Structure 1
C-alpha cells in the first residue's frame, strides 16, 4: 500500500527547504514533492501550492482560516461575515479534491452543518459550500446531516431544492451506506414529490433525475452487494416514477438536454420485465422512436434513446414491437451518423445485441438494414475501446448464432481480424470475442475450465 502523510508534514518539509537550504518557495515545493514521491508517498490528497506560505512561517491555508472564522462569526450572528467565509470555503473546495480533504479534516463539515441549523439568512450559500465539500468525499455525511437534507428537500423554494439535490447526488455517489440510509428515510418519495413540484423548472428536473439515477448505481467497491435493483424497483412501484417521467418527457420534447436526462433515468429504472411492458403500455416506445427519428442529429439524445431501447428490449413483446415500429433502420441510421462517438457506438451495439437475441426474424431485418457495415465500422474506429469491442462482438454473435447464413456478410468485411485483435488487446473481451468466432464457424481456442473431476477449476 502507498504511504500517506499529513498536510502539516508536507508543509513542514517545504518550510524547512526554504529556511535550511535557502530555496525559493517554488523550488522548495518541487523538492518536497520529489522527496516524498521517491519514498513512495501518495500525495493525491495533499495541497501542493505555495500561496499560503508567509515569511513569518505562519502557514495557514485559506480554507482552514475560513473554518476558524466561521466558528467565531456564528456565535456573533454576523451573517455577512459568515457568507464571505462560506464563499471562501466553496472556492477552495472547488479547486481540487486535496483542498476538499483538507477542509473536511479541519472541521468544515461540522461548521457547515451548524450554519444550516436555524441560519435561514445564509442557507443557500451554506448549501452551495456543502455541495462543493462533499464532491468526491461522501464519507463526511452524518445522521444529523441526513435529517437536515431530507427536511430541506421538502422546501417550496426551487433554489433550495437545486442545492440540496446537488449535495444528495454527491453523498450518494460511490457510497452504498449513504444511499441505503437516505432511502430508508423516504428519500425516494421526497425526490419524486420535489420533481412534481418543480416540473416546470428544467434545471431541477435534470438534477432530480440525476439523483434518482445515483440511487440505482452499484459503484461502491467497499461493499460486496448493493441494493441498486431494489432502489430502482422502489422508485417505479412506490413512487410511480415511470409514468411521471414519460409525461415530463412529452412536456420537454423540445428541450433536448432535459429530455436526455429523462430518457437516461428511464433506462436505469426498467430493471424488471413488467417495467419494460409498462413503458410500451404507456405509449413510451412510440414516443421514444418518434423522438429518435426527429432528433437524429442530437448526439447526446441519440445515445440516451439507444439506452432506453436496449433496456426495454429485455421484454420479448417490446422487442417485437421495436422492430414492428421501424426501429431497426432508425437505430442503424442513427448509429452510422454518430459512429465516431464511442459511447454511441457501444450503446448501439448493445441495443442491437439485445433486440436480435434468439430471434432470427429480427436478425434478418437488421441485416437488410446493413447493420453489419455499421458494426464493423465501429470496431475499426474504436479498436482501443474495450466497451465498443465487447458489445460489437456480442452483436455479431447474436446476429449469426441462429442465422449462420449471415456469417459471410461479416467475414467479407474483415470481422475475423477485428475480433482476434479485440481478444488480444482487451482482457474483458475474451468470452464475447471467442463466442463470436465460434458462431462464425472460425477456429477458436476454447478452454474447458471445469473437467467434472471434482478438482475445482482448471486453467
Structure 2
C-alpha cells in the first residue's frame, strides 16, 4: 500500500470558499463538493474539519473544552490545591463529554477540533498524569481521553512533540514495580490503551516507546499475572491487573511489533518483535494463557485470550521465537485456549492466526496435527461459518500445515477437510455480494486461502484429485477466479492446474 496524499486544512478551506464564490454554492453544497473532489483525487482527509468555517474553531465546544482544560492545568501547576486538582478532573470530564457526542460525524469533528485546540498537550500536562501519586480515578480519567484524540497522524505527531513517550514511561514508573499499590492495574490498563493509540500507525512513536523501555515495564506488569497461573496471587503477592488491563497491555506490545505506518520507507517492527521477545514477553504471554485455561470461569475471558494471541502473533517474528514459545508450553496453551473459547469469533480469529504463525516451523506443524489440529480447524469453520476472520485464519493454518507435506495432506483429506474448505467457499459466495458481517471484503480472502488449501492438498498427492473433484471443487475454484481476480486468479489457476485441468487459465 502507498500512503495517500495529505490535504491541509488551508487547502480544504480554500476549495470550499472557491466553490461558494465562483460557483454560487451554499456552504453545505460547497463543503460536499470539496470533499467529493479531494476523495476522487485519492487524498487523505483525516483530521480535516469539514465545515464552511473550517479552521475557525474558536467557538467550537471541543475547542472551548480543550482551552478550559489547558487553563486549569496551568493553574494546577502553579498551585496544587485540592480544589484546583478537582477542577482539572472536571475539565477532563467536560472534554470527554464533548468528544463522546452521540453523532458519529459530530464525534469525528470534535476530536479534530480538540487536537487543533491543544487537547493532546493539555492532557499530557495534567497533574494526574505528570505528578499525582494517589488518585486512581483522576489518573485514569485523564488517560482515558488520550486514545480518543490520538486517532490521526497530526495528533500522534503532537504526542511525540509534547514528550508523550517520556511522560507515559514516567507514569508507569510511578505506579508499577516497587510503587505498585491498589489501583495499579487500572492505571496500567489505561496507560497501555493510550500507548497503543500513540504507537498505532506511527513508526517514530513505536520505536521511541521501545527505546525507553516501555515494553519492559508492560511485560513486568503482565508477569505479575502470569506468575500465578493456577488461580491468582498468593498471600503477600502483588495483585495482577484485571483482564481488561492485561488485554490493553497486550495491545500495546502488539502495536510496537506491527508495521502499519505507510509513511517511512522502512519499519523496525521485526527488530522490535525480537526485542520484546527477549525481554520476557514469551513467558508472560504463556503465563496468561495458562492462567486463563485454568480459570474456573467457564468461557474464561475471550477478549483477553484474543489480545494475547494477537500480540504473540506479532512478537513471534522468526523461527527461533516460535520454537521457544512452543517449548515453553505456549503451543499447547494456545490450542487449549482456542478449544475453550471456540464460541468467540475473536478467539478463533486470533488463536488460529497465532497457530498459523507458529506453523512456520515444520516441527510445530507436526505437533499441531498430532494434537488434533485438523479436527480443530473443522470445528472452527463449522462454528464460525458466517465470520470471515475465523474462516480466513483457520483455512490459512490448514494451508500452512499441508505445504510441502503430503502426509498431512492425506490426513487432512481423511479428516474431512475437503468438505470444510468447500463449506467455507460456499459461505464466501453467499456473503460475497453484501460482505460478511465482520468484514465487507472478507470473502475474497477466505476464497484465496480456500484455493491455496485445495492446491496444497493435491500438489504432492495426485491420488487425492478424484476425491476433491467428486466433492465439486472445480466450479468453486472457477467462480472464485472470476469473482475475485485480484486475489484469487493466480491461486485458483494453480489449484486447477494441480487438479489436472489444461484450461486452468480460463
TM-score (norm 1): 0.84
Task: Give 1:249 shift.
Answer: 0.9
**388-397 or 437-446, which deviates more:** 437-446
Matched, 1:381 2:427: yes
Residue in 2 that maps onto 1:450: none
Contact 1:306 1:351 in 2 (8 A): yes
SS at match of 2:262: coil
Residue in 2 that maps onto 1:418: 476
SS at match of 1:333: helix
Residue in 1 that maps onto 2:462: 404
Contact 1:195 1:204 in 2 (8 A): no
The whole-number CA distance in structure 1 between the counterparts of 2:30 and 2:450 is 48
Output the aligned Cα RMSD: 3.2
Residue in 2 that maps onto 1:256: 301
Kindly indicate whether structure 1 or structure 2 has the higher relative contact order, using CA contacts under 8 Å at least 6 residues apart.
2
Which has the larger Rg? 1
The whole-number CA distance in structure 2 between the counterparts of 1:353 and 1:412 is 21
Deviations 1:59-110 (CA, angstroms, capped at 9, x unpaired): 7001111222233333433333332222232233344333222212222222
SS at match of 2:125: helix
Residue in 2 that maps onto 1:453: none
1:302–1:74: structure 2 CA closer, same or farther, 3 Å change rule? Answer: closer
Residue in 1 that maps onto 2:411: 365
The whole-number CA distance in structure 1 between the counterparts of 2:357 and 2:164 is 35
The whole-number CA distance in structure 2 between the counterparts of 1:231 and 1:39 is 40
Residue in 1 that maps onto 2:372: 326
SS at match of 1:314: coil
Count of matched residue pairs: 433
Matched, 1:240 2:280: yes
Residue in 2 that maps onto 1:209: 250
The whole-number CA distance in structure 2 between the counterparts of 1:130 and 1:311 is 32
**213-222 or 413-422, which deviates more:** 413-422
Matched, 1:285 2:331: yes
Residue in 2 that maps onto 1:309: 355
Task: Give 1:163 shift.
Answer: 1.8
Task: Give 1:361 shift.
Answer: 1.0
Query: In the alignment, which of 438, 453, 458 is matched to residue 395 of structure 1?
Result: 453
Task: Give 1:147 shift.
Answer: 0.7
Contact 1:169 1:214 in 2 (8 A): yes
The whole-number CA distance in structure 1 between the counterparts of 2:364 and 2:394 is 17
Contact 2:404 2:456 in 1 (8 A): yes
Residue in 2 that maps onto 1:142: 160
Equivalent runs, 1:422-433 vs 2, <5 Å? 422-426=480-484, 427-433=486-492
Residue in 1 that maps onto 2:440: none
Task: Give 1:355 shift.
Answer: 0.7
Residue in 1 that maps onto 2:97: 91
Matched, 1:190 2:217: yes
The whole-number CA distance in structure 1 between the counterparts of 2:467 and 2:476 is 14
SS at match of 1:218: coil
The whole-number CA distance in structure 1 between the counterparts of 2:358 and 2:382 is 22
SS at match of 2:468: helix
SS at match of 1:276: helix
Contact 2:186 2:242 in 1 (8 A): no
1:282–1:5: structure 2 CA closer, same or farther, 3 Å change rule? Answer: closer
TM-score (norm 2): 0.77
Matched, 1:125 2:123: no
Contact 1:136 1:170 in 2 (8 A): no
Deviations 1:169-200 (CA, angstroms, capped at 9, x unpaired): 11111111111121111122121012224635
Contact 1:134 1:170 in 2 (8 A): yes
Query: In the alignment, which of 117, 124, 131 is matched to residue 113 of structure 1?
Result: 124
The whole-number CA distance in structure 1 between the counterparts of 2:347 and 2:35 is 44
1:141–1:423: structure 2 CA closer, same or farther, 3 Å change rule? Answer: same
SS at match of 1:382: helix
Equivalent runs, 1:151-162 vs 2, <5 Å? 151-154=170-173, 155=175, 156=180, 157-162=184-189
Task: Give 1:416 shift.
Answer: 2.1
Contact 1:386 1:429 in 2 (8 A): yes
**394-403 or 287-296, which deviates more:** 287-296
Task: Give 1:389 shift.
Answer: 1.1
Residue in 1 that maps onto 2:75: 76
Q: Which runs of 5+ in 1 are unaligned?
A: 22-26, 448-459
Matched, 1:180 2:179: no
Q: Which runs of 5+ in 2 are unaligned?
A: 77-83, 102-106, 226-239, 433-442
